[in-house]
Structure 1
Amino acid sequence: MDDNIHAPTVASGPASGPTPRDLSKLSMPDLMQEKERIEAELSALSSVLESHGVRMTSSLTTFDGFPRDDIDIAQVRTTRVRIIHLRNDHKEVMKLLEKGIHAHFANLQNAQGAGPTMNGTSVPAVAQSPTNNTALGTPFAKVNSVVSGSPAEQAGLKAGDAIRSFGHVNWLNHERLSKVAQVVQENEGRAVSVKVCRKDGTDTATELDLQLTPRQNWGGRGLLGCHLVPL
């Protein structure tokens, strides 16, 4: 028989990654590509564990201490080790991205100089918080649909809105929108700040800061009543 009950339904991917690179020497675009690569591999490896019916903390032995015979223990262990390495790499990439963004805006402020003068006195330029800057608020998701009477509609969300931030979640840390779902679950009944960019028929963009309160029993499915798609 060709059937193998131990064969995973998803390929496990490489057991070890390529030769480690000095991430601190990567450019911002390269760091973003590395971030996407790591997240894609983490997603694939999570599927491997799911195909075996285990998680990172699931026991690999039976109640009496014998190795389980319903899973490929060697592959599960190898996959877990790889996931741990990738999670550490992801944290390092995110730190470098944040550091690079802050440095970028610091350079912009220095280039702008002291700003205009008033009665012969130099007026310092007002420093912008990076979290409020358009570049840091790069849209990472779009509202695909909004249900009538839903919390999303009551907050003012409309189909076509581009999401810049959802609570503390932004383009750097949304992890394929999984963090948005986490914020929604953790804030049921509490208002969450959602920053959106909305374009009208003339392509004029309007920046909005909406307050969205996830809740049940509004008459429809889910806590929001809208569908978000990643950009």
Structure 2
Amino acid sequence: MQTPLTTFDGYPRDDIDVAQIRTTRARIIPLVNDVKALMIEIEKALHAHHAEPTGTSTSADSSSTSAAPPTTAPQTETPVIEAVFAVVDQVSPSSPAEQAGVQVGDKVKRFGSVGALNHEKLAKVAAEVQQNENRIISVLVCRAIGDGEQDLELQLTPRRDWGGRGMLGCHLLPL
């Protein structure tokens, strides 16, 4: 990529196909720029991922039915733009999802360690639920409130023994 295409006195080199090299370089340069941009995005996402606290704490009384109230996502940190990857279209009564404050129409931005870039058609969400049975999972949802939307951080504890189908008691539709 850095080899000169001309001789020391400015004429095109006769030992290489200059036209072919120029067109090849013209195709490679945008690809290199794309890779650099993606690496910057990945670096930012890694920093954001490792900066957030882990939600894998266990408690002695994890099967209690009291629900933690939803809290507003902290705004003191540098905001990381998280895309919506699923929407809640059903919440069962008395389910872990209802107890955590999940509502129909909530747009899911983060589900534990799963986000828009790695949810794999919600397969990773299912795996996250299976791995964290009876443990708190932090869920970031975007909820329509009045004329606007607000991000809420909900604490959801998947359980099999809640009396209904599944471990969450809600249904997610991928976007």
Q: TM-score, normalised by structure 1?
A: 0.46
Classify 1:26/1:214 alpha carbon distance in 2 versus 1 (closer, same or farther; 3 Å): same
**Counterpart residue identity of residue 91, structure 2:** V
Matched with 1:26 is 34
1:34-183 paired onto structure 2 within 5 Å? 97-99=41-43, 128-129=77-78, 133=79, 135=81, 137-183=82-128
Does the residue aligned with 1:173 lie in a helix, a strand or coil?
coil
- The CA deviation string for residues 155-198 of structure 1, in whole angstroms up to 9 with x for no partner, is 00000001110011111111111111110000000000001110
Does the residue aligned with 1:224 lie in a helix, a strand or coil?
coil
Q: CA deviation at 1:138?
A: 1.3
Matched with 2:52 is none
Runs of 5+ in structure 1 lacking a partner? 1-20, 32-92, 103-125
Classify 1:25/1:192 alpha carbon distance in 2 versus 1 (closer, same or farther; 3 Å): same
Classify 1:213/1:98 alpha carbon distance in 2 versus 1 (closer, same or farther; 3 Å): same
Classify 1:100/1:155 alpha carbon distance in 2 versus 1 (closer, same or farther; 3 Å): closer
CA distance in structure 2 between the aligned counterparts of 1:96 and 1:134, rounded to whole angstroms: 14
CA distance in structure 2 between the aligned counterparts of 1:97 and 1:143, rounded to whole angstroms: 28
1:184 paired residue among 116, 126, 129: 129
CA distance in structure 1 between the aligned counterparts of 2:76 and 2:124, rounded to whole angstroms: 29
Q: CA deviation at 1:207?
A: 1.6
Runs of 5+ in structure 2 lacking a partner? 1-27, 47-74
CA distance in structure 2 between the aligned counterparts of 1:163 and 1:26, rounded to whole angstroms: 28
* Equivalent pairs, count: 120
CA distance in structure 1 between the aligned counterparts of 2:165 and 2:96, rounded to whole angstroms: 11
1:210-225 paired onto structure 2 within 5 Å? 210-225=154-169
Classify 1:143/1:23 alpha carbon distance in 2 versus 1 (closer, same or farther; 3 Å): farther
Does the residue aligned with 1:208 lie in a helix, a strand or coil?
strand
Matched with 1:208 is 152
Matched with 2:24 is none
Equivalent pair of 1:24/1:96 in contact (CA under 8 Å): no
- The CA deviation string for residues 203-230 of structure 1, in whole angstroms up to 9 with x for no partner, is 3112211100000121111000000011
**Structural RMSD (CA):** 2.9
Structure 1 outlier segments of 4+, above 6 Å: none
CA distance in structure 2 between the aligned counterparts of 1:184 and 1:96, rounded to whole angstroms: 30
Instruction: Give the share of equivalent positions with the same residue, in percent.
Output: 46
Classify 1:212/1:101 alpha carbon distance in 2 versus 1 (closer, same or farther; 3 Å): closer
Instruction: Name the one with the larger helix percent.
Output: 1
Larger Rg: 2
Matched with 1:199 is 144
Instruction: Name the one with the larger strand percent.
Output: 2
CA distance in structure 2 between the aligned counterparts of 1:166 and 1:160, rounded to whole angstroms: 15
